[in-house]
Copies of this chain bind each other. A is one copy, B any other.
Amino acid sequence: MSTLESRLHSAVARVRENWRGTRLIDGLEPGPAGTAALLDLARIYRANRLEIGRMRLLSGRAVAGLFFDPSLRTHTSMEVATGRLGAHFVYLQGGQGTWGMEFEDGVVMNGAAAEHIREAAPVLSTYADVLAVRAFPKGPNRDETVIRGFAAHAGAPLMNLESALSHPCQGLADQLTLCDLGGGDFKRRKVCLTWAPHPKPLPQAVPLSVVRAAVLGGADLHIANPEGYDLDGHELERARSFCRDTGASITLTRDPDAAADGALAVYGKGWGGDDHEGHAERVAGLSHWTVTEARMAKATAFLHCLPVRRNVIVTDGVLDGPQSRVVPQAANREPVQAAVLLSWML
């Protein structure tokens, strides 16, 4: 076994010492230590991607990715990570080329849905070694029906590729990116998460995952958003419960400039509040929340999960300037997902 291969095996063993789970749904599952071990593994992958690719460590394995919503980064980075490791990725589009799916129990299925999650999840689990599912709802509900249905009925390890409330792989990539910015870690470093205008009231999956990533990594997190756009209180409390362990703190504010001031990273993101009615009209009056060069003046880096609406969320000047780290941030998706796949299948 090569040195690199044994380093990988050791890193995988360290993940497993800290996290025996095979469900990554909201991203809190691995806890601070498990997450740190995953990031170490991701760094080895990132630094040796082609050499690791030639090892085909997961040869003969299969990952099924079921997408109910569009994706560019998530699909590509998952499929590339899987393929580089020598496993096979099956891309399935929910409701397009597959059957309509029913998630409720006890239903008389004489309508449009031809397939029940109670069959779909266990059957896919017999073919694939890992299932990965992306489904986020439209509208104000924060409905986790799809991913919860898979969690309840899938026998195979399960990865959430974005639901209403969670985008754990994005969270892992963000944590890795913050570590990169902080020179290894970002403990007690100020991180700003700021709401920004977006024509649609998007789900809170990404901002909540940023909160979890920041808390797991021990940040001094400042969350700025206008009234009516507070993040889900229950999820915020769940994340906050890790603060004592990691030394993290969460500060809520209505002042985006104060939040950005001196931050290691300003993470801009649009999201919907409790009331989705009238969102577009309210947003029209909130254009001062767009992240500008001025707001970035005393911050180090700009982050965003992408896709980003230029000159709405953030100006061209910031995105095309030296503070923007959105491309390396997106690039971090592949290594963190490879780390999870290795942890589950090596």
Contact = CB atoms under 8 A, between A and B. Distances in A.
A308 B80 contact: no
B59 A334 contact: no
Contact of A115 (B80, B98, B306): B306
A320 B118 CA distance: 9
Interface in A262-286: none
Contacts of A49: 60
A316 interface: yes
A329 to B, nearest CB: 9
A82 B64 CA distance: 14
Contacts of A52: 60
A116 interface: yes
A60 B84 contact: yes
Interface string A218-235: 000000000000000000
Contact of A327 (B106, B123, B327): B123
B71 A61 contact: no
Interface in A233-257: none
Contacts of A331: 123, 126-127
A310 B109 contact: yes
Interface string A307-337: 1111110001001100000111011011000
A97 B80 contact: no
Given A54-B60, A126-B330, A327-B123, A92 B106 contact: no
B70 A60 contact: no
A79 B88 contact: yes
A53 B64 contact: no
Contact of A76 (B92, B308, B319): B92
A124 interface: yes
A52 B70 CA distance: 34
Contacts of A82: 88
A328 B123 CA distance: 8
Contacts of A53: 59-61
A166 B50 CA distance: 32
Interface in A40-87: 49-56, 59-62, 64, 67, 70-73, 75-77, 79-80, 82-84, 86-87
B64 A119 contact: no
A181 interface: no
A109 B309 contact: yes
Contact of A119 (B55, B89, B308): B308
A162 to B, nearest CB: 13
A61 B111 CA distance: 41
Pairs of residues from A and B, 6 with the lowest C-beta to C-beta distance, nearest first: A53-B60, A83-B88, A115-B307, A126-B331, A109-B309, A108-B311
Interface of A: 49-56, 59-62, 64, 67, 70-73, 75-77, 79-80, 82-84, 86-93, 96-99, 102, 105-111, 114-116, 118-120, 122-124, 126-128, 199, 306-312, 316, 319-320, 326-328, 330-331, 333-334
5 contacts: A51-B60, A75-B90, A75-B97, A109-B311, A119-B330
